[in-house]
């Protein structure tokens, strides 16, 4: 009888494990890295370089499976800034996934999105080659969205028709997987983020999301605030800027495939020397 009970318990826990999917990662926003080009050597230490180095050292120690960079990685669209940023990323022990922000790219300054990711490929091990993109990680589909206007600098994003089509097609393709959407801009308003601070015509984006029930979380930056809220059964995580707060987030997401219930836990880390 004892053996039967033990077998039953073993089967119970095995079924629980089979239904559960989890992922743990770090998210860094608004690094605002800037090199000092007034000195003889462009790699002279600056406060923003030091902050990213300190964050890198801490993330390498605290067991993040990978790290998301949520845009505004640079002080401005400058290749010196980008090369330094990429070289530091190369020192991360685990994979990095970099989104662009409105301060990272500019067609008029010869740093468009194509060139941005070309430089990252040369000097770092970043996993993103272009936007939008999708990566399957630990059973989760991470959809990386863009929304940045590289032709007319603006803090307000917008999503072109082909990007919205990509979102719709990708959500359909991964309809049986939990989805995490990653982008520079938040998708829903909250008590901290006003409706008029969202990207233009964001209702088209929201409409696409409403067709699916497998989007479990949205991770964004841009506004330099720590904010977490649920909208349309989707958990929204806004990450405060490293350059202003000296902080980043560690995020744990657990998803039960059978019940479709999601558990999210976050922790703020302060960067220390």
Q: Residue 38: is it exposed, middle or buried by C-beta count within 10 angstroms (0-12/13-18/19+)? A: exposed
**Residue 71: both structure tokens together:** 């845009």
Torsion sign (Cα): 84, 85, 86, 89: positive
Is the preceding omega at residue 132 within 30 degrees of 0, hence cis?
A: yes
Establish if 160 belongs to a structural domain.
yes
pLDDT at residue 273 in the model: 66
Residues 229 and 59: their CA atoms lie apart, in Å, by 25
Taking Cα atoms as reference points, which of 73, 85, 69, 72 lies closest to residue 35? 85
Is 9 part of a structural domain of the chain?
no
Residue 79 to residue 172: CA distance in whole angstroms = 37
Give a three-class secondary structure readout of 20-71. Answer: EEEEEEEEEECCCECCCCCCCCCCCCCHHHHHHHHHHHHHHHCCCCCEEECC
Q: Does residue 152 lie in a domain region?
A: yes
Query: Is 106 inside a domain boundary?
Result: yes
The reported pLDDT for the residue numbered 5 is 40
DSSP 239: -
Q: Identify whether 2 is part of a domain.
A: no
CATH value at residue 199: 3.60.21.10
Residue 171 placed within a domain: yes
Nearest to 268 by CA among 35, 62, 48, 130: 62
Is residue 1 domain-resident?
Answer: no
The per-residue pLDDT string of the chain (273 residues; one tens digit each, 9 = 90 and over) reads 444 444 444 444 444 455 779 999 999 999 999 998 877 665 678 999 999 999 999 999 988 999 999 999 999 999 999 999 999 999 999 999 999 999 999 988 899 999 999 999 999 999 999 999 999 999 999 999 999 999 987 888 999 999 999 999 999 999 999 999 999 999 999 999 999 999 999 999 999 999 999 999 999 999 999 999 999 999 999 999 999 999 999 999 999 988 989 999 999 999 976
What is the C-alpha to C-alpha distance for residues 87 and 124, in angstroms, rounded to an integer? 6
* 3-state SS assignment for residue 12: helix
Q: Which domain holds residue 195?
A: 21-270
Q: How many domains does the chain have?
A: 1
Residue 203 neighbours by CB under 8 Å, 6+ apart: none
Residue 3 placed within a domain: no
């Amino acid at each position: 009888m004892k053996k039967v009970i033990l077998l039953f318990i073993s089967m119970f826990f095995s079924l629980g494990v089979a239904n559960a999917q989890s992922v743990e990662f770090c998210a860094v926003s608004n690094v605002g890295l800037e090199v000092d080009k007034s000195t003889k050597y462009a790699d002279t230490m600056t406060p923003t370089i030091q902050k990213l180095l300190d964050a890198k050292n801490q993330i390498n120690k605290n067991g993040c499976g990978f790290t998301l960079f949520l845009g505004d990685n640079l002080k401005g669209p400058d290749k010196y800034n980008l090369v330094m940023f990429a070289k530091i990323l190369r020192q991360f022990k685990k994979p990095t996934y970099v989104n662009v922000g409105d301060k990272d790219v500019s067609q008029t300054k010869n740093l468009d999105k194509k060139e941005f990711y070309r430089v990252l490929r040369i000097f770092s091990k970043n996993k993103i080659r272009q936007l939008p993109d999708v990566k399957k990680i630990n059973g989760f589909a991470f959809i990386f969205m863009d929304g940045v206007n590289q032709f007319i600098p603006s803090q307000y994003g917008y999503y072109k028709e082909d990007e919205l089509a990509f979102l719709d097609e990708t959500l359909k393709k991964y309809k049986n997987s939990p989805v995490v959407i990653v982008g520079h801009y938040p998708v829903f308003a909250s008590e901290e983020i006003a409706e008029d601070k969202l990207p233009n015509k964001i209702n088209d984006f929201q409409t696409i999301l409403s067709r699916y029930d497998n989007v479990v979380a949205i991770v964004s930056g841009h506004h330099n605030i720590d904010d977490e809220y649920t909208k349309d059964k989707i958990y929204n995580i806004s990450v405060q800027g490293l350059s202003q707060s000296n902080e980043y987030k560690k995020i744990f997401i657990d998803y039960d495939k059978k019940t479709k219930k999601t558990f999210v836990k976050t922790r703020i880390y302060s960067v220390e020397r």
